[in-house]
A and B are shown apart, each in its own frame.
Chain A
Amino acid sequence: MLKYGLMYGLLSARRRAREMLLPAITIATGAFLVVIVFGMQAGIKQQAASLGHAGEIGHAIVLISVTVLLVGVVEAAVATTRTIAHRTRELGVLGATGVRSRPVLVALLVEPVVTAFFGALGGAVLAAVVGAVLGAANAVSSSVSASGTVTGLVIAVAVSVVAAAITSVVPIWRAVNRPPIKSLSAS
């Protein structure tokens, strides 16, 4: 049953691709920052050292870039609440015809998770390209480390996907477990 839920979710996510553009962009912005920060850690450490307290400022920069990524991810969850509101009747029909709540939950989770994954990946790849170009053109004072970029990419994608799933699951769960009659009679 979960497999069908997943496929149903993928199909509807494809249909609603345009509406997921804004959350994808906000997530991409956050992911871009995270990857740049990890890739240029050496340069940022240098800048932090000029301010004194190099270690603490370095931590603060990582903490704040991850926070910004989370802000981007929350937009995906806000978009999910919009999706749910649009599809209340559809959820009612599914419930009334006896579809269990778990496959529906999976189907609705596909949208934020896919958005987060592609958004983060897009932003991270863009950051890696920008970092590489800047490094090659010697536009930045420090080198862009490849290992740092990869770490940043993995962290950005993992944090976005997990955070998108966690923030979206509660509104979806509430919507899925509404009595079908209420969902169907909603305007």
Chain B
Amino acid sequence: MAKHLGLTIKDVTASEIDSRAESSTQAEAAATPPDPRSALPTSPGGTFGRLMRFAIANIRRRPERFVLSVLGIALAIAAVTVVRTISTSFAITGGDSVTNAIGSHAIWVVPAQGVTYNAAAGALVSEGPASDITLPTGWTGTEMIAGLWHSSHGEVAVYGVAETPAGEAVMSARLAQRLGVSDGGPLRLGGHTVTVAVSGGSTAIAISPDLARDIVGDAGWWVADEPAADQGRNDLGKLFGTAVGLPSTQNPAQTPDKNGNGLVYDTTTGSGAVSFAQKYASAFSGQVTDSTLGLISIIGLVLGFVIAVSSFLASVQERRREFGIMSSVGLADEVLYFFLVESGVVFVAAWLIGVLAAGIAIWAVLPHLATPVAWAQASATVAAFLPAMAIVGAIVPVHRLLQQRPVALLTD
């Protein structure tokens, strides 16, 4: 049986491409009698290798259709990859910005006006003065100033951090470069002159709280940590919220009530496995995938899938007789493998082209919005759709074929 399979594939492939190849194959077969000890066919490459050769022979028979379906699917994949790249870089910035803003503190109390991500500054800033609360006994925490400074080099986030020495401004090397200052040099900040200290990767300037209040006003939030006795509890937010009389949540997508006094975010993992920064990041990227952009790219992917199915359907229609021959010699389910390999080749080629095209498009149109890491992550995410699409794309056309009797396939 296995021998038959090998020879059948070989013969059909050859006869379809070139009649000369067929005669030479037969001549070969006649010249070298098969080894009686081995029931396996002698052609190299194993089953997968033969399936690949069969798929490639079929692709070469209708190269323009292969090129067109790869092109269509690649365009769709490129569109999805661009959107995913944007949303992934949003997720990365969202996660980084929340880590920058609150560090490893367990409790984050945001004012009623909420906090927003300022794209120009690249950091989270508070929209209103920190909530009017008193820390419950045992808890350690501080009111942190977090506002926008309108510098001559654009908007910059300024955080008042208690540990920062007075007269010093801590910032990342990138921000220092943007502001045109160097480590140890002076910086005119509002009406004050401070010494620049380059350290860390934060996108905001850290200065002493008094100075920060002087420059950006009262805008800010609270950060707090639990007393030693309560360490390891997973309801810290609730505990703190009850003590200060504010609602609490572990969900960063929830925003504070505009008429309230603020909202307590519990940034400990709680009962889930996902960290607060990760949740914040996904809420951030969700803004992109849920927007018009995400919707359009999904429609594109559906159209790409329609192309794949319709091109496979056409190819099945044209090869009815061929499959009739196969099923009359007992190859029924194997026909599915032929199509699976072919559809796999189409989707992998389309993925490679689509992902590269997306990279070029992002680099050309949205250089500030995406990073190579985000692009790589997005490409991997899109690759995760492919197996399902390739398998369904192959099964749909072949399914109808397999329902028919060989005679029906051979006669028309």
Contacts and interface: CB of A to CB of B under 8 A. Distances in A.
B296 A74 contact: no
Interface in B299-324: 299-300, 303-304, 306-307, 310-311, 314, 317-318, 321
Interface string A136-179: 00000000000000000000000000000001001100100000
Interface string A6-24: 0000000000000000100
20 contacts: A26-B307, A29-B303, A53-B369, A56-B366, A60-B82, A61-B296, A64-B83, A64-B296, A67-B75, A67-B78, A67-B300, A68-B79, A70-B75, A71-B72, A71-B75, A71-B307, A75-B72, A78-B65, A81-B68, A81-B314
A37 interface: yes
B275 interface: no
Interface stretch (A44-52, A93-101, A114-122, A126-134): A44-52
A78 B82 contact: no
A77 interface: yes
Interface magnitude class on chain B? 35 or more
- Highest count of chain B CB atoms <10 Å: which of A33, A61, A67, A187: A67
Contact of B71 (A64, A72, A74, A79): A74
Contacts, number: 121
Interface string A28-42: 011001000100000
Contacts of B296: 33, 37, 61, 64-65, 68
Contacts of B318: 85
B303 A167 contact: no
Interface of A: 22, 26, 29-30, 33, 37, 44, 47, 50-53, 56-57, 59-61, 63-65, 67-68, 70-72, 74-75, 77-79, 81-82, 85, 167, 170-171, 174, 187
B17 to A, nearest CB: 14
A118 B71 CA distance: 23
Given A60-B82, A60-B366, A79 B292 contact: no
B2 interface: no
A44 B62 CA distance: 42
A68 B303 contact: yes
B297 interface: yes
B27 to A, nearest CB: 24
B154 to A, nearest CB: 13
Given A64-B83, A71-B300, A75-B72, 15 more contacts: A44-B292, A47-B292, A51-B288, A51-B291, A60-B293, A63-B82, A64-B300, A68-B297, A74-B68, A74-B69, A74-B75, A75-B306, A75-B310, A85-B318, A171-B68
A71 B297 contact: no
Given A33-B296, A61-B292, A53 B368 contact: yes
B228 interface: no
Given A52-B117, A68-B299, A82-B314, A187 B68 contact: no
A1 to B, nearest CB: 25
- Highest count of chain B CB atoms <10 Å: which of A56, A60, A68, A82: A60
A53 B68 CA distance: 34
A80 B82 CA distance: 29
Contacts of B307: 26, 71, 74-75, 78
A71 B69 CA distance: 9
Q: State the 5 A-B residue pairs at the shortest beta-carbon distance, nearest first.
A: A52-B119, A74-B72, A171-B64, A68-B300, A82-B314
A169 to B, nearest CB: 10
B254 interface: no
Contact of B366 (A47, A59, A77): A59
Nearest to B121: A52
Contacts of A29: 299, 303
Given A33-B299, A60-B365, A74-B71, A68 B76 contact: yes
A148 to B, nearest CB: 14
B276 interface: no
